[in-house]
């Protein structure tokens, strides 16, 4: 039963969150250099190093709560695949994952608002969409779990 459609959706939800660890969420150019935010922290590339061959990147702030939360949620998504024998628990864990993803999105928005200069002149990147995509994948996994329950109930009625 591990090859069910909800396993694919849960894997994709976990994969999108793992990609969130690597991709920037928002970038901004200022008169002092380039800023970008990832889940791991706020990074700054000063203007003086933009013209040099060796690029020096400074980590301005660290976000351990966002980083750890992203890893935790992505591991829970992948681990939830293996609870296929207990559909009720898999459904509950998926609902918890949706809630945790929404909390992650709120946390990201709060940290983005603290970025120097705010949203003025900022560009959203692929990392800004990935948590929303993960929520969509979790909702689709929940839908797949419910369809499995309906299939099992209809098969039990035939017996």
Sheet holding 122-124, edge to edge: 58-62, 41-46, 33-38, 26-30, 122-124
Q: Return the pLDDT at 103.
A: 96
Give the pLDDT means over successive 10-residue stretches in the chain (159 positions). Answer: 80 95 89 86 76 69 92 95 89 95 93 79 88 95 88 71
Q: Are strands 41-46 and 26-30 parallel, antiparallel or unpaired?
A: unpaired
Mapped to the 3 state alphabet, what secondary structure does 74-92 carry?
HHHHHHHHHHCCCHHHHHH
Site of tokens 């909702």? 139
Task: Give domain limits for the chain.
Answer: 5-23+64-158
Q: Return the pLDDT at 158.
A: 61
DSSP 8-state assignment for residue 115: S
Spatial separation of the C-alpha atoms in residues 77 and 97, rounded to whole Å: 7
| pTM (2 d.p.) | 0.85
Spatial separation of the C-alpha atoms in residues 3 and 23, rounded to whole Å: 29
The b/e string for 30-54 (b: 16+ C-beta within 10 A; e otherwise) is eeebbbbbbbbbbbbbeeebeeeee
Site of tokens 């976990």? 14
């Amino acid at each position: 039963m591990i090859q069910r459609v909800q396993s694919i959706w849960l894997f994709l939800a976990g994969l999108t969150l793992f990609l969130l660890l690597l991709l920037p969420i928002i970038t901004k150019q200022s008169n002092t250099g380039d800023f970008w935010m990832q889940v791991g922290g706020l990074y700054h590339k000063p203007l003086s190093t933009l013209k040099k061959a060796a690029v020096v990147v400074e980590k301005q702030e660290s976000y351990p709560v966002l980083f750890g939360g992203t890893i935790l949620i992505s591991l829970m998504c992948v681990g939830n695949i293996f609870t296929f024998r207990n559909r009720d628990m898999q459904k509950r864990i998926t609902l918890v994952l949706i809630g945790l993803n929404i909390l992650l999105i709120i946390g990201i928005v709060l940290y983005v608002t603290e970025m120097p200069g705010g949203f003025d002149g900022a560009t959203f990147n692929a990392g800004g969409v990935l948590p929303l995509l993960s929520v969509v994948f979790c909702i689709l996994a929940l839908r797949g779990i419910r369809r499995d329950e309906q299939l099992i109930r209809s098969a039990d009625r035939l017996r």
